[in-house]
């Protein structure tokens, strides 16, 4: 195993949205059903809970710098700039921020205005991720979005005006009734806004969503391949390099926070339902990795403030024999893959054993033939589960 701890990030979850989108299985809730309105969320209570939650994790992070922070949701842009100003100040008083720290916030274009963006920027947030999904009215309606394409364009202009120079756009494809041409139009409109980063997700029908129980009519397999291929080409021609299955960035603008996940870094997770992964070396000098997750329902999470059980809903060590799969599930998402030495450092497993297992993957064309590197081929990125199954074979 490596002899130094991996980089440390912090994930902060905000669990509320104006309206639940029918495709979404994230831990996001309409506040109206719980007695709050979207513009009247329990900010003070949530702030106090987040800090108490962080305090209970500090033992595992003591003395370590935070490299990146990601405020995700839900819809973080439902909470005020003042909330984030206080939150970030309090966090900085507990854990040192690395020089040049990346602090990202997700924003929904249906919840923003100029003054909010200016306030978020002043609070120290320096990267914005705008959930646009599509620019076409029919698609936005089918996806249950609360904003129009024009509002998304305005939101991005306002964010620039507020001083954000690092912006991601979330787009989805393979949408109900979408033709390859419509998918390319969406990419064209996103490119016209000149974001630094673009996340391009294929719509999946997740269990426990409205789309799962009432599936919309999605494009046929052939159209989906066509969308994938032509969309990928369009993005690469425009200078967006794909560095992960769904992530494209201009030169040097990869999401450092997400890269830390994919490179198997450590992260604290605070907020309703947040997950964390933390490595430490125990008193006997043995390397340990623990996953922990927090109470999921926002109201139950808030109540945990006065509860001796605290915010943790569960924790589990990652066992040595689980490490290869855990590591590969993340690292193989990266188009560049990882060095074999990184594999050895993170899993504690000899490289020879891995190479023997991977011979059959090579035959199926799921891996790139590269000495010293573990890297999925374009085919392997498409069929990642098949590749992971080979790595995990006894
Ligand atoms: C947690 S959401 C955050 C963004 C923000 N809440 C919003 O929607 O505006 C992160 C992104 O995941 C993507 N996403 C969510 N559910 C998805 C699904 N079922 N299939 C594909 N992408 C999905 C969307 O692009 C979404 O913007
Ligand atoms: S706004 Fe974002 S987090 Fe909220 S339900 Fe929609 S996709 Fe999910």
| pLDDT tens track for 176-222 | 999 999 999 999 999 999 999 999 999 999 999 999 999 999 999 99
Does 24 sit in the ligand 1 pocket, CB within 6 Å?
yes
Ligand 1: distance of its center to the CA of 214 in Å? Answer: 19
Which atom of ligand 1 lies nearest, measured to the CA of 205? 19
Nearest 5°: the CA angle 34, 35, 41 is 95
Number of the ligand closest to the Cα of 144: 2
pLDDT higher than 90, residue 20: yes
Whole-number Å distance between alpha carbons of 392 and 388: 6
Does 291 sit in the ligand 2 pocket, CB within 6 Å?
no
What confidence category does residue 306 fall into, taking pLDDT thresholds of 50, 70 and 90?
Answer: confident
Does 204 sit in the ligand 1 pocket, CB within 6 Å?
yes
Task: Give me the mean pLDDT over the 335-359 stretch.
Answer: 84
Identify the pLDDT of residue 296: 97
Determine which residue's CA is closest to atom 7 belonging to ligand 1: 131
What confidence category does residue 308 fall into, taking pLDDT thresholds of 50, 70 and 90?
Answer: confident
Which atom of ligand 1 lies nearest, measured to the CA of 206? 19
- Phi, psi of 256, rounded to the nearest 5 degrees: -65, -30
**Measuring CA to CA, which residue among 233, 234, 255 is closest to residue 243?**
255
What is the CA 195 to chain-centroid distance, rounded? 17
Task: Give me the mean pLDDT over the 262-283 stretch.
Answer: 95
What is the 8-class DSSP label of residue 16?
Answer: B
Identify the pLDDT of residue 394: 61
Mutate to test the pocket of ligand 2, among 73, 78, 130 (most ligand atoms within 8 A of CB): 73
- pLDDT (tens digit, 9 = 90+) per residue, 89-106? 999 999 999 999 999 999
Torsion from C-alpha of 378, 383, 384, 388, nearest 10 degrees: -120
Identify the pLDDT of residue 358: 78
Does 17 sit in the ligand 2 pocket, CB within 6 Å?
yes
Does 21 sit in the ligand 2 pocket, CB within 6 Å?
yes
| Lowest mean pLDDT, pick from 70-74, 215-219, 290-294, 303-307 | 303-307
Identify the pLDDT of residue 376: 94
Task: Give me the mean pLDDT over the 301-309 stretch.
Answer: 89
Mean pLDDT of the residues in the chain: 93
Task: Give me the mean pLDDT over the 73-78 stretch.
Answer: 96
HSE (side-chain half, CA atoms, 13 Å) at 186 = 33
Task: Give me the mean pLDDT over the 359-372 stretch.
Answer: 80
Whole-number Å distance between alpha carbons of 287 and 28: 35
pLDDT higher than 90, residue 88: yes
Cβ proximity of 100 and 142 under 8 Å: no
Determine which residue's CA is closest to atom 3 belonging to ligand 2: 74
Ligand 1: distance of its center to the CA of 115 in Å? Answer: 24
Task: Give me the mean pLDDT over the 110-114 stretch.
Answer: 89
Ligand 2: distance of its center to the CA of 143 in Å? Answer: 10
Whole-number Å distance between alpha carbons of 375 and 369: 8
Q: Which two tokens stand for residue 197?
A: 């980063």
Which residue would you say has higher pLDDT here, 68 or 358?
68
pLDDT higher than 90, residue 38: no
Ligand 2: distance of its center to the CA of 272 in Å? Answer: 15
Cβ proximity of 158 and 122 under 8 Å: no
Does 104 sit in the ligand 1 pocket, CB within 6 Å?
no
CB count in 10 Å sphere of residue 131 = 26
Task: Give me the mean pLDDT over the 107-130 stretch.
Answer: 96
Ligand 1: distance of its center to the CA of 131 in Å? Answer: 7
Identify the pLDDT of residue 341: 87
Which residue would you say has higher pLDDT here, 351 or 51?
51
Identify the pLDDT of residue 349: 80
Determine which residue's CA is closest to atom 15 belonging to ligand 1: 24
Task: Give me the mean pLDDT over the 364-387 stretch.
Answer: 88
Ligand 2: distance of its center to the CA of 345 in Å? Answer: 37
Mutate to test the pocket of ligand 1, among 201, 205, 228 (most ligand atoms within 8 A of CB): 201
Cβ neighbors of 143 (< 8 A, separation 6 or more) are 21, 22, 23, 133, 134, 172, 175
Which atom of ligand 2 lies nearest, measured to the CA of 20? 5
* Coil, helix or strand at residue 36: coil
Does 130 sit in the ligand 1 pocket, CB within 6 Å?
no
Cβ neighbors of 221 (< 8 A, separation 6 or more) are none
Q: Which two tokens stand for residue 302?
A: 């808030």
Q: How many residues does the chain have?
A: 394
pLDDT higher than 80, residue 363: no
Residues of the chain with pLDDT > 70, as a percent, come to: 99
What is the 8-class DSSP label of residue 334?
Answer: B
Identify the pLDDT of residue 314: 96
Identify the pLDDT of residue 295: 97
What confidence category does residue 118 fall into, taking pLDDT thresholds of 50, 70 and 90?
Answer: very high
E strands, 134-265, are 167-173, 197-202, 241-244, 247-249
What confidence category does residue 234 fall into, taking pLDDT thresholds of 50, 70 and 90?
Answer: very high
Cβ proximity of 291 and 267 under 8 Å: no
């Amino acid at each position: 195993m490596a002899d130094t701890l991996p980089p440390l990030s912090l994930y902060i979850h905000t669990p509320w949205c104006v309206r639940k989108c029918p495709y979404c299985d994230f831990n996001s809730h309409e506040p109206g059903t719980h007695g709050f309105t979207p513009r009247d969320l329990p900010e003070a209570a949530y702030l106090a809970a987040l800090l108490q939650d962080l305090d209970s994790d500090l033992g595992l992070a003591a003395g370590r710098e935070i490299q990146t922070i990601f405020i995700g949701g839900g819809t973080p842009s439902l909470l005020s700039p003042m909330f984030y100003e206080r939150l970030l100040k309090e966090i900085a008083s507990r854990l040192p921020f690395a020089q040049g720290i990346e602090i990202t916030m997700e924003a929904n274009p249906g919840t923003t205005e100029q003054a909010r963006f200016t306030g978020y920027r002043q609070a120290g947030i320096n990267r914005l991720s705008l959930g646009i999904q599509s620019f076409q009215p029919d698609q936005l309606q089918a996806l249950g979005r609360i904003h129009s394409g024009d509002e998304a364009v305005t939101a991005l202009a306002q964010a620039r005006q507020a001083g954000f120079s690092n912006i991601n756009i979330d787009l989805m494809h393979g949408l109900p009734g979408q033709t390859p041409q419509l998918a390319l139009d969406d990419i064209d409109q996103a490119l016209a806004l000149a974001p630094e980063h673009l996340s391009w997700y294929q719509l999946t029908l997740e269990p426990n969503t409205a789309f799962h129980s009432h599936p919309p009519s999605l494009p046929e397999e052939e159209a989906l391949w066509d969308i994938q291929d032509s969309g990928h080409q369009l993005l690469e021609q425009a200078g967006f390099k794909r560095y992960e299955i769904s992530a494209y960035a201009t030169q040097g603008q990869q999401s450092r926070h997400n890269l830390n996940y994919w490179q198997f870094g450590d992260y604290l997770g605070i907020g309703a339902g947040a997950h964390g992964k933390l490595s430490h070396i125990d008193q006997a000098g043995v390397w340990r990795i623990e996953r922990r997750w927090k109470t999921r329902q926002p109201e139950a999470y808030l109540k945990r403030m006065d509860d001796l059980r605290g915010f943790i809903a569960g924790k589990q060590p990652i066992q040595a024999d689980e490490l290869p799969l855990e590591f590969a599930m993340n690292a193989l998402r990266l188009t560049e893959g990882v060095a074999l030495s990184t594999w050895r450092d993170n899993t504690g497993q000899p490289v020879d054993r891995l190479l023997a297992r991977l011979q059959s993957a090579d035959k199926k064309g799921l891996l790139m033939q590269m000495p010293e590197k573990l890297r999925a081929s374009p085919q392997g990125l498409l069929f990642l589960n098949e590749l992971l199954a080979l790595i995990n074979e006894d």
